[in-house]
Amino acid sequence: MQKNNSKSVLKRILPFFRPHLASLAVALVTMVVVTAVHLLRPMILRTIIDTAIPQKDISMAVMYAGVFIGCLLVGAVAMYVRVRIMARIGAEVVAEIKRRLFSHILGQGMRFFDQNQTGKLITRSESDANQLKSMFTQSTAQLVASIMLIVGTIIVLMREDVRIGAVAMLALVIVGLVMFFYLTYIRSLYTKVREKNSALTGYLTEYIQGVPLIKVHGREKDIMNNLQTHSEEKARLERKAAFVEYMLFSSSFRFFTEIGVLMLLFAYCSSRVYAGTMSVGTLVMLMELLRQFFRPLEFLIEVLAQLQTALAAGVRVFDILDTEPAVKDEGQPAPGLRLNEKIAFNDVSFAYDSEIVLKNASFEIPRGQQLAIVGASGSGKTTCINLLLRFYDPTSGSITVDGRDIRSVTLEDWRRNIALVLQEIYLFPGTIMENLKAFHSDVDDETVIRAAKELGAHDFIMRQSNGYQTMLAERGANLSYGERQLLSYTRAMVKNPDLLILDEATSSVDAITERELQASMEKLMQGRTSIVIAHRLATIRKADRILVFEKGILQQSGSHAELMRKDGIYRELVNIQTAGRGDPSVDPGDNAEIAANNGNGEATGAVA
């Protein structure tokens, strides 16, 4: 991935303006009008002072005063139109950048999310993208308007007096050189500020998500101290940037350029007024023009400093947009794809970074089979599911459906007939009905209600304040774990998938809730090809086949009864869990729980 810089960001932002060329043309016209108004006002003042007042022509003075006021009004209207146009363009362009950025993030494989903090992604999607708005609203418009006014002022000054125009040009060259070194330095400061802000947001997100654990371990003070350290570092960088930008540079600029040049001009022109070679009106006009010359220069400095902040944010945004997805969605459309015969893992291996977590796995899942996958921490069972869902792609080998490599079809078509039920339940902002439909508007309410009744979720849903239209709290916090899990089962049934994947879906509930969920889960799996990563014996024993993984290698395969008759990992895991219950008289085949947790060294994040 090529590293972005300010030039590349500017180049890549320009295409976003193409749909708005007509509006930009109107905005440019308003800038010309405002520039003309600024240049006309000093000339009108000269006419009033040199002509109307000496001649005591009140009507002329009133007429030119009216023209002066008219210029002010025209300039104000043109400025208003420009602000409205640029604000609209800015909002639309930033909205488009956010849309592309969020779409690109959603299109990434799970490796991308493993490597990027949630808080940092939020910062880049919102804060950094919003920072770009200044490039499309007032900053860019002010930059162009300032340049136009500076050029126009120099032309008028040159026409009036070449020496005065030359002084203005010299001041412009000096300011340009100073600005070059200043902007180089201030850019690096603002880049550090944005990086520190992103890191701070990432820490806040992670800590907020871990509040219960922080409280249990009594680490509130340590966390606060850590955040305070990062906040102070960010504040220090911001103070330094503000001091350089406003105190050190802007104040010095105003004193050594504007005030100094105006004093020299006044001394030079006053002597000519006394000598009778220059009128008072011309002196006033030149002073006003030169004052106007330095105002856009000051704006130019402020705007360029603001643009440095925006460009630093833009670099970060385009760095995300340039991140190539690890999982390429380059397959052919297959809208009618169904699981008719079997899914097959063909000598599949996968390495997460440099660590191999799955080695040469080969097995088949015939249509309609209930398959269980078990193993100790880091054994490779979760990796199998992540590869099957194409959250990652195999390092070697292939996964096929009815002999067709799943990479040969689009991700949408492959995942269309798969439903996933996780131990960690994800419920989204919205109503219960919206969550059960998974926000598919083409699913009718009757289908949802029928599925809820079949799985036993309908009664508790109707006990909610607004039934299916009840708004869920964040992640469904206003429901019990068992109720949330029933909703996830129902959501899977509403999808009516060919392949159902359940990841330890009953491992975090009490025995009574487990029995209720187990009955619902069996109804959900009935007649479907299903893969279960499970702890509970009830699920394991009823599976058609059990795969046992250890350290990324498929070690055993068979039914519960077949595996219990053999010496091996499976029976050892069962015996360990039976001994853990403290009742050695109980038949291990009736009461064991399979010791299987997602673990270290295994691809995580997608199914956990």
Q: How far apart are CA 16 and CA 90, in angstroms?
A: 10
Phi-psi region of 346 (alpha: psi -120 to 50; beta: other; left: phi over 0): beta
Name the CATH code of domain 342-591 (choices 2.40.50.140, 3.40.50.300, 1.10.150.20, 3.40.50.720). Answer: 3.40.50.300
Q: What is the pLDDT of residue 607?
A: 39
Task: Determine how many CB atoms are found less than 10 A away from the CB of residue 385.
Answer: 20
pLDDT tens-place string over residues 12-38: 888 888 888 899 899 999 999 999 998
* Higher pLDDT, residue 371 or 430: 371
Flag whether pLDDT at 510 surpasses 60. no
Q: What is the pLDDT of residue 535?
A: 64
Which has the minimum average pLDDT: 239-253, 291-305, 527-541?
A: 239-253
Q: What is the pLDDT of residue 119?
A: 66
Q: Percent of the chain beyond pLDDT 70?
A: 82
Flag whether pLDDT at 247 surpasses 80. no
Q: Per-residue pLDDT averaged across 560-587, rounded?
A: 71
Split at pLDDT 50, 70, 90, the class of 345 is: very high
Q: What is the pLDDT of residue 508?
A: 54
Q: Per-residue pLDDT averaged across 231-245, rounded?
A: 77
C-alpha torsion angle, residues 222, 223, 224, 227 (rounded to 10): 120
Which residue in this structure is represented by tokens 């690890």?
326
* Contact yes or no for 132/310 (Cβ under 8 A): yes
* Higher pLDDT, residue 380 or 181: 380
Q: What is the pLDDT of residue 57?
A: 84
Split at pLDDT 50, 70, 90, the class of 254 is: low
Side-chain-side CA neighbours of 439 within 13 Å: the count stands at 4
Flag whether pLDDT at 323 surpasses 60. yes
Flag whether pLDDT at 382 surpasses 70. yes
Flag whether pLDDT at 172 surpasses 70. yes
In terms of Cβ atoms closer than 10 Å to its own Cβ (0-12, 13-18, 19+), residue 303 is buried
Whether 6-321 shares its CATH topology with 342-591 is answered no
Average pLDDT, the chain: 80
Phi-psi region of 108 (alpha: psi -120 to 50; beta: other; left: phi over 0): beta
Flag whether pLDDT at 326 surpasses 80. no
Q: What is the pLDDT of residue 349?
A: 95
Q: Percent of the chain beyond pLDDT 90?
A: 19
* Higher pLDDT, residue 103 or 119: 103
Q: How far apart are CA 436 and CA 493, in angstroms?
A: 9
Q: What is the pLDDT of residue 586?
A: 36
Concatenating the DSSP letter of every residue in 449-503 gives HHHHHHHT-HHHHHTSTTGGGPBP-GGGTTS-HHHHHHHHHHHHHHH--SEEEEE
Q: What is the pLDDT of residue 246?
A: 64
Q: Decide: helix, strand or coil at residue 216.
A: helix
pLDDT tens-place string over residues 198-215: 777 777 777 776 766 666
Return the structure tokens found at 310: 């925006």
Parse the chain into domains and list their residue ranges.
6-321, 342-591
Return the structure tokens found at 317: 């945004």
Query: Topology of 6-321 in CATH?
Result: ABC transporter transmembrane region fold (1.20.1560)
Split at pLDDT 50, 70, 90, the class of 253 is: low
* Segment (H or E) for 300: helix 280-321
Q: What is the pLDDT of residue 248?
A: 56
Q: Per-residue pLDDT averaged across 82-91, rounded?
A: 87
Flag whether pLDDT at 539 surpasses 70. no
Q: Per-residue pLDDT averaged across 45-72, rounded?
A: 88
Q: How many residues does the chain have?
A: 608
pLDDT tens-place string over residues 387-421: 999 988 999 999 999 999 999 999 889 988 898 88
Q: What is the pLDDT of residue 462?
A: 93
Which has the minimum average pLDDT: 137-141, 245-249, 463-467?
A: 245-249
Side-chain-side CA neighbours of 109 within 13 Å: the count stands at 20
Q: What is the pLDDT of residue 5?
A: 62
If we measure between CA atoms, which residue out of 532, 533, 528, 545 comes closest to residue 417?
528
pLDDT tens-place string over residues 279-314: 888 888 888 887 777 777 777 767 776 777 777 778
Q: Per-residue pLDDT averaged across 61-65, rounded?
A: 89
- For helices 280-321 and 6-13, give the axis angle rounded to 10 degrees: 90
pLDDT tens-place string over residues 546-573: 999 999 999 999 999 899 888 888 888 8
Q: What are phi and psi of 363, to 5 degrees?
A: -165, 165
